[in-house]
Chain A
């Protein structure tokens, strides 16, 4: 498994990332965790629908997104808010989506990040089609798709991997193996030695990386994107990480896992190791930490306020979202529902 920064913040190899870049990645992870905690709190207050936290997976998501070019495609899941945000999707829209508003699914023009897929696994093939189209159009855009360990058991994982390999599409498959698919542990999901090794069966490159090591994830994803961009085909990356929170706000993880295990993973926290590294290199102070947290909180609060200030959606907007032009039956239903 490829890694660069150990849980204690020591660098295992030469770090191909500048101190300033590391500070930026750390700041992004702090902001992402602030968002995650805020959403958990808001869900408890009844202000958000079900929320799927990503705590513990910040490095996998921020590291991967930091490797992308701004015009690359991203197709992720309901647990990928940090990835989507770092790829350009504003917090206010991610929050709007979770308040139960379809307008949250509309990223700004130029941000090629699809709204999250809620069904498991069906979106991986979309990244194959997106990437395939870009190569047919003659651009060098790449598509990255993110999914969990559970999704690799879906039939669509097989179809997506196979199509990507056969048609040599510039697609990067990022599996965040976070240990559990709701309650099912990774060991019962597949008997493969690793998820990365599944790439072999498709004639595709595979790589396993410490998913709690933001520098290692950034490097591995950057290499895979470069390979894809230069016509070298797709890669399957397994980022080994852990979901320290519940599957969603409706889940009770004490029913299926040992809290000692979770505590062990908290020791391998993706943020703390970077903080230790930066501290040792003279790139971290308590004042800076406080400032980061204040800035993050302010940004998230502003995003929440904007999301909550969206006007009540109308039945007309709902009907108009089905087709470019409403059909005859829908126009009739608008009259009926509008009265």
Chain B
């Protein structure tokens, strides 16, 4: 066991996967020589060879389309797209082919590939580098969408995604890459795709979040606890398929739920979560489900980021209103 960042945990998981399974190959822009724009693949080409880790031309559709063909032919490709805002040229490949080939071929051909994509804002990046458009992927049947927020989940979920017989979009919270440290076992282990992680158990209110917003949600929970409220925090970890049972169990237990996400509010996953709760736990609710989200604006540039990102204060305020309601 050693203490590692989320970025190091991902690097270690990829290293382990390359070591454990000769079908695993990595491809993407600048992932070989330089180790990727966030250095997640640092040293892997040197260690595993140019026949396992490929620097590709700048072409997201090409990267995903080629990975798709490789997966059909029996490999386990892990493709990297540099930022979620750069994934849209590959959207056609993802929704029209990757997510559909099992259905189109009645299980004869499958696409067990992983598409790793850094996502989210808060680092003062240029336009298109801070997107949280996970809902447009979670909406697509045939795809799984996973978001770790801790180093040990990052390792376990990435290894699970690589093993998964179906395609997985693996979203990596940029803001947490080097902001969290945790002891992570260097063993080969997987974390189940699907179930929520109960980050903190409590009885008065449930805060649900994922990815980088877990940080603010956790801080808000601590403040609320200091004021005497017992807070349950769920880290969703898997956005598709949603863990209805895990969400509903917590909603029934506390009767009060706030969903926190960085993505714009309209059509965001908070709406889906609220809908699931009202369908399955309405009579346990003591207050309306509230959402604390990004605004329905383009993700702003550096000087306006604080206007956009849900803050600890906004989460606490929404929780207090929910506790009153």
Interface residues of B in 71-92 (CB under 8 A from A): 71-75, 77, 89, 92
With A122-B96, A159-B59, A163-B57 as contacts: A132 and B103 at CB distance below 8 Å: no
Closest to B108 in A: A106
Interface residues of A in 96-120 (CB under 8 A from B): 102-103, 105-107, 109, 114-115, 117, 119
Contacts of A155 in B (CB 8 A): 61, 89
Interface residues of A in 119-163 (CB under 8 A from B): 119, 122-123, 125-134, 136-137, 143, 155-156, 159-160, 162-163
With A321-B102, A324-B166 as contacts: A132 and B65 at CB distance below 8 Å: no
Contacts of A106 in B (CB 8 A): 105-108
B66 CB contact (under 8 Å) in A109, A132, A328: A132
Q: When the two chains form their complex, are residues A323 and B142 in contact, meaning their CB atoms are under 8 A apart?
A: yes
A129 CB contact (under 8 Å) in B57, B72, B103, B165: B72
A19 within 8 A of B: no
Q: When the two chains form their complex, are residues B75 and A327 in contact, meaning their CB atoms are under 8 A apart?
A: no
A128 CB contact (under 8 Å) in B69, B93, B96, B166: B69
Contacts of B141 in A (CB 8 A): 322
With A133-B75, A329-B241, A332-B244 as contacts: A160 and B105 at CB distance below 8 Å: no
Contacts of A130 in B (CB 8 A): 69-70, 72-73
With A106-B105, A133-B75 as contacts: A328 and B241 at CB distance below 8 Å: yes
Tell me, rounded to whole Å, the shortest Cβ–Cβ distance linking B272 to chain A: 10
Q: When the two chains form their complex, are residues A133 and B96 in contact, meaning their CB atoms are under 8 A apart?
A: no
Interface residues of A in 304-332 (CB under 8 A from B): 321-324, 327-330, 332
Q: When the two chains form their complex, are residues A129 and B51 in contact, meaning their CB atoms are under 8 A apart?
A: no
B57 CB contact (under 8 Å) in A109, A127, A162: A162
Interface residues of A in 4-61 (CB under 8 A from B): none
Q: How far is the CA of A328 from the CA of B140 in the complex (A)?
A: 15
B62 within 8 A of A: yes
**Count of residues in A whose CB is under 8 Å from the partner chain:** 44
Closest to A101 in B: B106
A166 within 8 A of B: yes
A242 within 8 A of B: no
Closest to A75 in B: B69
**Count of residues in B whose CB is under 8 Å from the partner chain:** 47
Contacts of A78 in B (CB 8 A): none
Q: How far is the CA of A128 from the CA of B61 in the complex (A)?
A: 12
B25 within 8 A of A: yes
Which of A114, A130, A167, A323 lies at the interface centre, i.e. has the most chain B CB atoms within 10 A of its CB?
Answer: A323
Interface residues of B in 192-251 (CB under 8 A from A): 194, 240-245
Interface mask (B152-175 → A, CB under 8 Å = 1, otherwise 0): 000000000000011000000000
Q: When the two chains form their complex, are residues B65 and A126 in contact, meaning their CB atoms are under 8 A apart?
A: yes
Q: How far is the CA of A73 from the CA of B69 in the complex (A)?
A: 10
B68 within 8 A of A: yes
User: What residues of chain B have their CB less than 8 Å away from a CB belonging to chain A?
Assistant: 25, 51, 54, 56-57, 59, 61-62, 65-75, 77, 89, 92-93, 96-97, 101-110, 141-142, 144, 165-166, 194, 240-245
23 A-B pairs whose Cβ atoms sit less than 8 Å apart in the complex? A75-B69, A107-B108, A123-B97, A125-B66, A126-B72, A128-B62, A129-B65, A129-B71, A130-B72, A133-B73, A134-B73, A137-B75, A156-B92, A159-B61, A163-B59, A163-B62, A163-B66, A166-B56, A167-B54, A321-B103, A323-B166, A328-B194, A329-B242
